[in-house]
Amino acid sequence: MHGSIQSDMVPSLASRVKHLLKVKNNFCVAYDLLFGCPGWIEGVIQANAFIQAGIAKRCLVIGAETLSRVIDPHDRDSMIYADGAGAVILDANQDDSGLLSHLSASFTLNESDYLYFGKSYFHQDSNTKYLKMKGRKIYEFALTNVSLAMKTCFDNSGYSIKELSKIIIHQANEKMDEAIVSRFYQLYDLPKPPNVMPMIIQKLGNNSVATIPTLLAMILHGEIPEHSINKGDITLFASVGAGMNINAFVYKF
């Protein structure tokens, strides 16, 4: 950061990570993916496509965010934001595990300014732009559109809703996530099962693109005692964020 609130645009963050990892293969392509909070899911979807197409055998997908650089200390909406990072490695395999279905969508006609950069509420600080959101509009948008996207994605997996083991959803807001998942099950005329949706926002906050890989890692490492993922489990991942972008995928472990 060099004492500034601005970050470097070049080289890409992915290039810097590859450099620090000392990866010697020049044909290992490193690129950034700007997709808001759903960026990690989108990265996994793209990595899966590369593997399925025979373009790659192994992909590293990282979700990292430092929202502390862009939050307005005079805006109470900023209280929930946090920093974080998580990563996965996807490998080609021969068994029946992996992505079963996926879905991505960008709603930009009327929704592109629901999350934006604007001035601080502290008017003396007029030159710096901070992350701002239209909370009510985001809530209403997500409640309808994320649950529908989740259903479309899960229906394409070929599995019954009763075979769904866990929902790993972007840790944006516990009230909103509860409402989205409840609405998702209502689309099947079912109540939301207990213990289907792990939450860590009360511990780690909303660290944007890092919430889902962080949550997944904590479950797999046994750091959330009441939740586990086992071999053969069918898990639905879903996210929503700036764009407005929505995506989801179904994964068999």
Which CATH number does the domain housing residue 148 bear?
3.40.47.10
Q: In the prediction, which pLDDT does 121 show?
A: 63
Query: What's the pTM value of the predicted model, to 2 decimals?
Result: 0.91
Is 8 part of a structural domain of the chain?
Answer: no
Q: Cis peptide before 197, with omega less than 30 degrees from 0?
A: no
At residue 129 the predicted structure's pLDDT band, cuts being 50, 70 and 90, is: confident
- Distance of alpha carbon 114 from alpha carbon 241, whole angstroms: 9
Q: Tens of pLDDT along 2-11? A: 334 445 677 8
Written as six digits, the tokens of 89 are 């490695």
Written as six digits, the tokens of 195 are 């213990």
Is 85 part of a structural domain of the chain?
Answer: yes
- Distance of alpha carbon 155 from alpha carbon 3, whole angstroms: 50
Is 43 part of a structural domain of the chain?
Answer: yes
What is the domain count for the chain? 1
Is 115 part of a structural domain of the chain?
Answer: yes
Is 20 part of a structural domain of the chain?
Answer: no
Written as six digits, the tokens of 36 are 């808001």
Mean predicted confidence (pLDDT) in 116-144? 76
Q: What percent of the chain has pLDDT over 70?
A: 91
- Distance of alpha carbon 205 from alpha carbon 172, whole angstroms: 8
- Note down the domain range covering 83: 33-253
**Does the pLDDT value for residue 32 go beyond 90?**
yes
- Cβ-contact 174, 206 below 8 angstroms: no
Q: Of 250 and 132, which is predicted with more confidence?
A: 250
Task: List the one residue out of 46, 25, 26 whose CA is nearest residue 34.
Answer: 46
- Distance of alpha carbon 211 from alpha carbon 172, whole angstroms: 8
Is 166 part of a structural domain of the chain?
Answer: yes
- Cβ-contact 72, 121 below 8 angstroms: yes
Is 177 part of a structural domain of the chain?
Answer: yes
Is 200 part of a structural domain of the chain?
Answer: yes
- Cβ-contact 229, 248 below 8 angstroms: no
Burial (CB count within 10 angstroms: exposed 0-12, middle 13-18, buried 19+), residue 194: exposed
